Structure 1
Amino acid sequence: MTADHPIRLLLADDQEMVRVGFRMVLDAQPDMTVVGEAGDGAEAVRLTAELHPDIVLMDIRMPRMDGLEATRTIIEADPAVRVLVLTTFDLDEYVHAALRAGAGGFLLKDAGPAELLAGIRAVSSGDAVVAPSATRRLLERFLPHDSAAQAPTDPKLIAALSDREREVLVCVGQGLTNTEIAGKLFLAETTVKTHIGHILTKLGLRDRVQMVITAYDAGLVRPGR
């Protein structure tokens, strides 16, 4: 996005001071604008339908409707909207479910301004994973206890991947960035991006977060590996 077409952001958090802090940072950017604030999930759903933001920064623990239900409702209504979950450093137990509900990734609430801005811009440009190593820790913590919520990946879909694509999928599942994958597999970073695009298409996935979940569901990556 540019100053002429800034990233439109909706802030959803029940703590007003948190929203004020985020707004001060975000509105100071020439390529971002905060179009609204919500104090609970229900208000976030209503304002998303009314204001059509590009990205919703979504807290998890809120009154009336929590961020999980709000995320699911928003994405079901408009899959084009990106939701970035806001979580505490100790990783909310709800975040994994929010990712399954369609959230594009998550930010830690104590992230510095530079990390926050970089994360929003990355998601706006189509890269869903904001903190890959934190995503890995999250899934390692909660996937073993979430078997009832899992939708096992069809082995035939995984079999459709080339050997190199499977290697890349494993690396994404381990929380590696494109740069790290390129170094590990001795590939150009542009080649890694091409493989990721092929994987998303072949498996019918929305983004890198779903790639991580798929790698775990398919048994390609195990906790601690």
Structure 2
Amino acid sequence: MRVLIVDDDALITSALKMILEVDKIDVVGVGHDGSEAIQLFETLKPDILLMDIRMTEMTGLDAAKTILSQYPDAKILLLITFSDDEYIIQALKYGVKGYLIKQDYSSIVPALNAVSKSQTVFGTEIIAKIPGLLHTKQPDPQAKFNYEDYSLTAKEYQLIGLVADGLSNKEISVQMFLSEGTIRNYLSTILDKLNLRDRTQLAIFYLTTKNGS
């Protein structure tokens, strides 16, 4: 796995580099602002970009938007603090693969491994924040969410829930007793029905509806 690290705090980048190299992860480069992240990504083509969301010269959010507009399949994992709420939903809409609380060093390697398998990663604290950040109304206890209102079947909504839990197509196929090809077909159909782009947006959909289901 080839990882590019970008953070405007040199101590953080050094610590992250050390943590990853202990786990035999190849750190192909280190940058210190968003514009450098764009340049290094284009040059180095890393498997994953691990980047701070809040940087002084150019934010990680702006860098992620630029990179994903040019490389839609780019795998970007953002490091955030508890005060970065305003960035979270916007970056998810751009297509980042997830968030980690910057101080949670023990989760970094497992998160990178998950992202390398095309899974999305959200810390528990972040998952809890998402409905509120989307300004989702509290569900009326008398008005249950009905997946059929979205032309979804029970099996499709079950699959969406497994995607939101971060499972890969292979893991979902085992849980649902279906082939990986069938799961891919289901996902394509679901994304078309909901007019969504990717698994991350699908996870957001699930998180904003499950409390009323």
Query: TM class by shorter-chain length?
Result: 0.7 to 0.9
1:97 pairs, out of 90, 98, 105, with: 90
Residue 139 (structure 1) aligns with: 130
Q: How does 1:82-161 map to 2 (within 5 A)?
A: 82-113=75-106, 115-131=107-123, 133-144=124-135, 158-159=150-151, 161=152
User: Given residue 52 of structure 1, which amino acid in structure 2 is its aligned partner?
Assistant: K
State the shift of 1:193 in Å. Answer: 9.2
Give yes or no for contact 2:85–2:133 (8 Å, CA) kept in 1: no
- Asked if residue 166 in structure 1 is aligned to residue 151 in structure 2, the reply is no
Q: Distance in 2 between matches of 1:157 and 1:192?
A: 25
Unaligned runs of 5+ in 1: 1-6, 146-154
Could you say what secondary structure the match of 1:94 adopts?
helix
TM superposition shift of 1:39: 0.7
Contact 2:64–2:91 (CA under 8 A) maintained in structure 1: yes
Give, in angstroms, the shift of residue 209 of structure 1: 2.1
Give the AA of the match of 1:166: Y
| Corresponding position: 1:17 with 2:11 | yes
The answer to whether structure 1 residue 26 and structure 2 residue 20 are counterparts is yes
Deviation of 1:190 (Å) = 5.5
The aligned runs of 1:190-201 (5 Å cut-off) are: 191=177, 197-201=184-188
- Per the normalisation by structure 1, the TM-score is 0.73
Residues 164-190 of structure 1 show CA distances to partners (whole Å, capped at 9, x for unaligned) of: 212342x358x5455xxx9xxxx9636
Superposition deviation, residue 214 in structure 1: 2.9
Output aligned runs, 1:214-225, within 5 Å.
214-215=205-206, 220-221=209-210
Pair 135,200 (structure 1): closer, same or farther in 2 beyond 3 Å: farther
Are the structure 2 counterparts of residues 91 and 63 from structure 1 closer, same or farther at C-alpha, using a change threshold of 3 Å?
closer
- Give secondary structure in 2 for the equivalent of 1:126: coil
Decide whether the 8 Å contact of 1:15 with 1:39 is kept in 2.
yes
SS of alignment partner, residue 54 of structure 2: coil
Instruction: Give the alignment's TM-score, normalised by structure 2.
Output: 0.77
5+ long unaligned stretches in structure 2:
137-146
Q: Percent identity?
A: 31
Aligned to 2:42: 49
- What's the CA shift string for 1:179-217, capped at 9, x where partnerless? xxx9xxxx963649958644432215565322122336x
Deviation of 1:78 after TM superposition, in Å, equals 1.1
- Could you tell me how far apart the structure 2 residues matched to 1:134 and 1:188 are? 28
- The amino acid that maps onto 1:220 is T
Contact 1:168 1:192 in 2 (8 A): no
Note the C-alpha offset of 1:221. Answer: 3.6
Q: Following TM superposition, by how much is the alpha carbon of 1:129 offset from its aligned partner in structure 2, in angstroms? A: 2.5
Give secondary structure in 2 for the equivalent of 1:128.
coil
Structure 2 Cα separation of the partners of residues 23 and 192 of structure 1: 40
